[in-house]
Structure 1
Amino acid sequence: MLTKYPQVFGALVCQVPLLDMKRFHLLLAGASWVAEYGDPDEPEDWAFISEYSLYQNVSADRAYPPVLITTSTRDDRVHPGHARKMTAALEEAGHPVWY
């Protein structure tokens, strides 16, 4: 919702997110989701996945609502690196983000 429809929201909360769809299958339980999301190492799959992968679609040229991103080191499914990388990408692009 943040990168596809930012104009629809006044603010967003993003909790324990799966955001880097280029590398999700390399972290923790991510490999088990390839059947569901597709294989980002396959060009045909990546062509589709890249359209909705938040981390790869952050833009400094678009206006985003403020976002609060939370994560957990106790969730063994989604690596906290997703939230950390997205926070850094949004900060680097000049967008309001809290972690």
Structure 2
Amino acid sequence: MTIENTAARTRRRGCHFIAVRIHTPRADGPHLFGTIIAEVPLLDMRTFHALLAVASWTAEYGNLDNPEDWAYLSQYSPYHNVQPGQKYPPLLLITSTRDDRVHPGHARKMAARLTEHGYDVTYYENTDGGHAAAADHQQQAHNDALKIQFLWQTLATQG
């Protein structure tokens, strides 16, 4: 097994952890995985507190009215640390228009920024579904099929 054929999948706030590992310019960052699937990700730590229920997470992540908290958060905010010329793995972002916890704007903005820098990003936004990104079994099966297809395409081309 090599890095090129290793995938990571994470959901909700777990996405924040994996995004930090992947999209922060660190020695152990982008080369850890061959591909990433991030579902309903929390990525923009500058505005997270202003979007939906995530405002209640300021005790955990920090109060952005406090400049010292932003100075810390800015070091690992995935959205703010996308840099050109890095080796980012292919990324599938899945979100939901109706997510009432993690606003779909996180995934939208990250997809736009990565695309702007020429990185391989695939974006899917379900118009139903809420925080699970699927409202029923049919939508979940559709999302699962997207993930399997993405893994097949990205891992098969890398090794």
Aligned to 2:12: none
Q: Deviations over 1:56-86 (max 9, x none)?
A: 0001121100000010123210000000000
Counterparts of 1:1-99 in structure 2 under 5 Å?
1-4=21-24, 5-99=29-123
Structure exhibiting the larger radius of gyration computed from Cα positions: 2
Cα distance in structure 1, aligned partners of 2:31 and 2:64? 28
Cα distance in structure 2, aligned partners of 1:9 and 1:51? 21
Percent identity at matched positions?
A: 60
Cα distance in structure 1, aligned partners of 2:33 and 2:71? 27
RMSD (Å) for aligned C-alpha atoms = 1.0
Quote the offset at 1:26 in angstroms.
0.5
TM score, norm. by length of structure 2: 0.60
Give ranges in structure 1 of 5+ residues lacking alignment: none
Which moves more between the two structures, 86-95 or 27-36? 27-36
Quote the offset at 1:42 in angstroms.
1.4
Q: Deviations over 1:10-49 (max 9, x none)?
A: 0001110010000000011121111110012311001111
Q: Which amino acid aligns with 2:68?
A: E
Structure with bigger helix share is 2
Tell me which of the two structures has the higher relative contact order, counting C-alpha pairs closer than 8 angstroms and 6 or more residues apart: 1
Cα distance in structure 1, aligned partners of 2:54 and 2:101? 7
